[in-house]
């Protein structure tokens, strides 16, 4: 196995919810985390701006000893995974809302996601697709005080799409933005679905299968997570503080 890091990229702190799973499943691997917090959220930007930011960030991350990329962002994954894979020339893994599994099991499904992700999943029978426009921003701004995140305001005043307001109406609720993981309990309390899921676990297990027989050869930083970029200190601090969230999730 070649040496190097698995790099996780996101618009901000959202991808840290996926990073926790990856670190847990792959204790012999080393990770780089890059959060583009200054440009968060990605879900409200144009495709041209998103792709430009993504490729710029890939160039920055490749300045390190990187062997693969994990896009810890549903928006980038749903819109540009092919372009990013071709540009980076690295194995690239994305995170996607697991809609197919919900459909196959039947019932009514609500997908909460960003505006740009919503455009990719509209028109699926039995699936309400709703984008709380500023929820990711609210989570980002209140990273160390998530109780302040106002879910109801984001749902009723600043969202795109319609949802049923009756508790228990949905059999499946899908978190289509990695930021939303950090307010999952608020979302569960509001909608009371039978099941809640996201793409994080599926992506983490897919990456695990790719490296399941490998051992890290970066011996001097074995099992390390390296935070890089302008907001590295902020993201590292949140990673440490959100460790309690991960243990309870």
Digit-coded pLDDT (tens) for 10-21: 999 999 999 999
For the chain, which ranges sit under pLDDT 70? Answer: 1-2, 213-223
Q: Quick one: pLDDT at residue 3?
A: 74
Element spanning 68, H or E: strand 66-71
CA-to-CA separations, 27 to 61, 82, 92, 108, in angstroms, rounded: 21, 28, 20, 37
pLDDT of residue 1: 40
pLDDT for the residue 215? 55
CATH number of 99-198: 3.40.50.1860
Q: How far, in Å, CA of 195 to CA of 187, rounded?
A: 12
Question: Is the bond preceding 41 in cis, omega lying within 30 degrees of 0?
Answer: yes
Contact indicator for 74, 114 with CB cutoff of 8 Å: yes
Give start-end residues of each CATH 3.40.50.1860 domain in the chain.
Answer: 5-96+200-248, 99-198
Nearest one of 55, 32, 53 to 43, comparing CA atoms: 53
Scanning 62-114, the segments in alpha helix (DSSP H) are 74-88, 99-105
Cα–Cα distance measured from residue 146 to residue 227, given in angstroms and rounded to the nearest whole number:
22
Domain 5-96+200-248 classification at class level: alpha beta
Residues 159, 132 contacting (CB under 8 angstroms): yes
What does the block give as tokens for 201? Answer: 């676990």
pLDDT in tens, 91-136: 999 999 999 988 888 899 999 999 999 999 999 999 999 999 999 9
Q: What is the pTM of this model?
A: 0.93
């Amino acid at each position: 196995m070649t040496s190097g890091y698995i790099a996780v990229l996101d618009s901000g702190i959202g991808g840290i919810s996926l990073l926790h799973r990856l670190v847990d499943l792959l204790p012999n691997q080393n990770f780089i985390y890059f959060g583009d917090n200054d440009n968060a959220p990605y879900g409200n930007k144009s495709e041209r701006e998103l792709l430009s930011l993504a490729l710029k960030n890939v160039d920055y991350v490749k300045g390190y000893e990187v062997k693969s990329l994990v896009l810890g962002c549903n928006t980038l994954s749903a819109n540009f995974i092919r372009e990013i894979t071709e540009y980076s020339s690295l194995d690239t893994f994305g995170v996607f809302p697991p809609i197919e599994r919900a459909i196959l099991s039947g019932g009514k499904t609500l997908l909460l996601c960003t505006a740009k992700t919503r455009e990719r999943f509209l028109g699926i029978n039995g699936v309400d697709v709703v984008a709380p426009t500023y929820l990711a921003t609210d989570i980002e701004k209140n990273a160390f005080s998530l109780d302040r995140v106002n879910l109801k305001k984001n749902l009723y005043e600043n969202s795109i799409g319609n949802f049923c307001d009756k508790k228990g109406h949905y059999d499946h609720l899908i978190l289509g933005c990695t930021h939303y993981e950090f307010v999952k309990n608020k979302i569960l309390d509001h909608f009371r679905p039978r099941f809640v899921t996201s793409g994080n676990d599926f992506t983490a297990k897919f990456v695990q299968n790719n490296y399941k027989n490998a051992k890290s050869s970066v011996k001097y930083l074995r099992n390390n997570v390296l935070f890089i970029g302008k907001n590295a200190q902020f993201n590292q601090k949140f990673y440490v503080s959100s460790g309690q969230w991960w243990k309870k999730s």
